Amino acid sequence: MYCGQACRQRAYEQRAATSKAGLPGDVVLVSRAELDGLQDRLYQLRCALEDVQTLLTEKPTKAELERSLSDLVHSTGRLDRLWVTERTA
């Protein structure tokens, strides 16, 4: 199901382009900079999760827990704004 005719058209164009290039339909191409940015953000999220996990094995103060959870939310929020968009040739 598509949100509208424009989305349906973009999906058709994507399928036609990948088919013409001999690529499987589920291939996604991203630039090195986009991939590096995604990997950086995922690393930040992983570190924030590890910090929370470590803190939970200790007896954290309320302030320590709030700071660690705030860092985690901040890391997640940056990923929340990531959208892969199609580029036209």
3, 9 Cβ separation under 8 angstroms: no
Instruction: Kindly state whether residues 46 and 84 are assigned to the same domain.
Output: yes
Instruction: Kindly state whether residues 10 and 35 are assigned to the same domain.
Output: no
Number of domains in the chain: 2
Instruction: Kindly state whether residues 16 and 43 are assigned to the same domain.
Output: no
The set of residues, in sequence order, having a beta carbon less than 8 Å from that of 64 and lying 6+ positions away, is 55
According to the model, what pLDDT value does residue 58 have? 92
**pTM of the prediction?**
0.59
Instruction: Kindly state whether residues 53 and 69 are assigned to the same domain.
Output: yes
Instruction: Kindly state whether residues 46 and 14 are assigned to the same domain.
Output: no
Q: Which range marks the domain in which residue 21 is found?
A: 1-27
- The string of pLDDT tens digits covering residues 30-82 is 788 888 888 888 898 899 899 999 999 998 999 999 999 898 888 877 666 66
Rounded distance between C-alpha atoms, residue 65 and residue 17, angstroms: 49
pLDDT at 87 over 60: no
Instruction: Kindly state whether residues 54 and 82 are assigned to the same domain.
Output: yes
Summarize the confidence of residues 2-11 as an average pLDDT: 81
Instruction: Kindly state whether residues 19 and 49 are assigned to the same domain.
Output: no
44, 75 Cβ separation under 8 angstroms: yes
Q: C-alpha distances in angstroms, 52 versus 32, 34, 44, 49, 77?
A: 30, 27, 12, 5, 16
Instruction: Kindly state whether residues 21 and 49 are assigned to the same domain.
Output: no
Neighbours of 48 (CB within 10 A): 19
